[in-house]
Amino acid sequence: MAGPRITVVGASLAGLRTAEALKAALPQAQLTLIGDEPHAPYNRPPLSKDVMESFAGGDADETEAFGKLLLRSKLTPEDVSIRLGVAATGFENAGVRLADGSLVRSDWVIAATGIRPRRLPLPGNEDIRHVLRGFDDARALAPMLQPGARIAVIGAGFIGCEIAATARKLGLHVTIVEPGPQPMMRALGPRVAAAMAALHRRHGVTLLTGRMVEAFQPGRVILDNGKEIEADVIVEALGSLPNTEWLAGSGADLSDGVLVDDTMRAVGAPNLLAVGDIARFANPLFDDVPRRVEHWCIPGFTARRAAQTIAAIEAGDTPEPGFSPLPSFWSDQYGMRVQAFGAPALAETQTVVEGDLSQIGEAPVIVEYARDGALTGVIGLGAPPALIAKHRARLTAALTPKETA
């Protein structure tokens, strides 16, 4: 007997891992994977680091470079039908409507459409303004990164800071414009963010905090205080927006991504699930507030959970309750790895438990994050694996789900 028709929309990490998990949980399922990019699923984190650096040197073979990014999978054409280069434009009871007008009939739909870069709503300098989210973005940006060129990075989140670090390594003059008081402030908190600001400045970056872009003029960025920055290339790294427009009218809560319950089912749309960057869910490790989590580990966790949910329902069972993944992320800047576990952004206090923040980039540092006296996260800066493992274990032991505390 034929299995359920399941369509996964979004052919990136979350979509691929979901298809794999579904095949393992429901071998008889009829799977379709849809992606708006022409590329097979690939790994995005290296784009702002190794890929951009190799392309900028002019000696990278694009096919070889993409091959290194390609996500490995044991799925075969018999396991899943893959349609690339076509976007989903609508969600209907019968399935998913595509940009070419076709309808992919589905019993279940899993949204894995991820995020896109936020852009400044200002005209001017279109020929030198870039974002970095996909392989084609890196391919377009890299030729601009020539030694001696002037780059203005608008936004000092992780992507912006990684681009700045790579650009400095390539010999560019780098200016970062950040509306907040410090780079990566939301993710790292004020103390660690201030130390990272000092690290960037030590490496020759001009860091302008508390400033907004007022306008673009030919070859220049005009700030809200009247300061003018000359630029040969501009990168907008101002965060992201969830790709949920195609789900309008589905009944799901799309106020920030897709609101899901602890089984990854969309609230208000019973046959719709969401995974990866667009899934907004509560994590009982911390509290009952639903949040989107844009970390590399989340696609895998949510993919497996979604597959378990559909498999249970198709078998006539109720999915097991509870979903509490431990978030983690990392960033490489100036040869130093920043590794984080838990939810440092929720903390009220930061305590340096190993090393000295004035020595980041030169010696290992471990910082613990707490709220109401309870650990919520830990960050290691340039820390060896054994030291990271020790403090991750301490955090894991402290994070007891609230409902069982």
Residue 400 pLDDT > 80, yes or no? no
Residue % of the chain over a pLDDT of 90 = 92
Q: What is the pLDDT of residues 81-97, one digit of tens each?
A: 999 999 999 999 889 99
The two structure tokens encoding residue 36: 């708006």
Quick: pLDDT tens for 285-298: 999 999 999 998 99
The percent of residues in the chain predicted with pLDDT above 70, rounded, is 98
What is the reported pTM? 0.94
- Per DSSP, the three-state class of 26 is coil
Long-range contacts of residues 188-193, Cβ cutoff 8 Å, at least 24 apart: 188/338, 188/340, 188/344, 188/379, 189/344, 189/345, 189/347, 189/350, 189/369, 190/350, 191/350, 191/352, 191/357, 191/367, 192/350, 192/357, 192/367, 192/379, 192/381
CA distance 203 to 7: 47
Q: How many CB atoms lie within 10 A of CB 230?
A: 11
What's the CA gap between 12 and 15, in Å, rounded?
A: 5
Residues 6 or more apart from 91 whose CB is under 8 A from it?
A: 97, 109, 246, 247, 249, 250, 269, 272
**What distance in Å separates the CA atoms of residue 236 and residue 129, rounded to the nearest whole number?**
7
Distance from C-alpha of 96 to C-alpha of 246, rounded to nearest angstrom? 9
Residues 306-324: pLDDT tens digits?
A: 999 999 999 999 999 999 9
Q: Where are the domains of the chain?
A: 5-38+85-116+241-314, 119-238, 335-400
Q: Which listed CATH number (1.10.1740.10, 2.40.170.20, 3.40.50.720, 3.50.50.60) goes with 5-38+85-116+241-314?
A: 3.50.50.60
CATH classification of 119-238, choosing from 2.40.30.330, 3.20.20.70, 3.50.30.30, 3.50.50.60? Answer: 3.50.50.60
Contact call for residues 172 and 151 (beta carbons, < 8 A):
yes
Fold agreement between 5-38+85-116+241-314 and 119-238: yes
382, 394 contact by CB (below 8 A): no
- pLDDT classification of 404: cutoffs 50, 70, 90: very low
How far CA 382 is from CA of 78, 82, 171, 252, in Å, comes to 44, 40, 23, 42
Q: Bigger pLDDT: 178 or 50?
A: 178
Amino acid 367: pLDDT = 98
pLDDT tens-digit readout, 117-160? 999 999 999 999 999 999 999 999 999 999 999 999 999 999 99
What Cα–Cα distance (Å) separates residue 359 from each residue in 169, 190, 195, 354, 385?
20, 16, 9, 11, 18
Give the chain's length: 405
141 backbone dihedrals φ, ψ, rounded to 5°: -75, -40
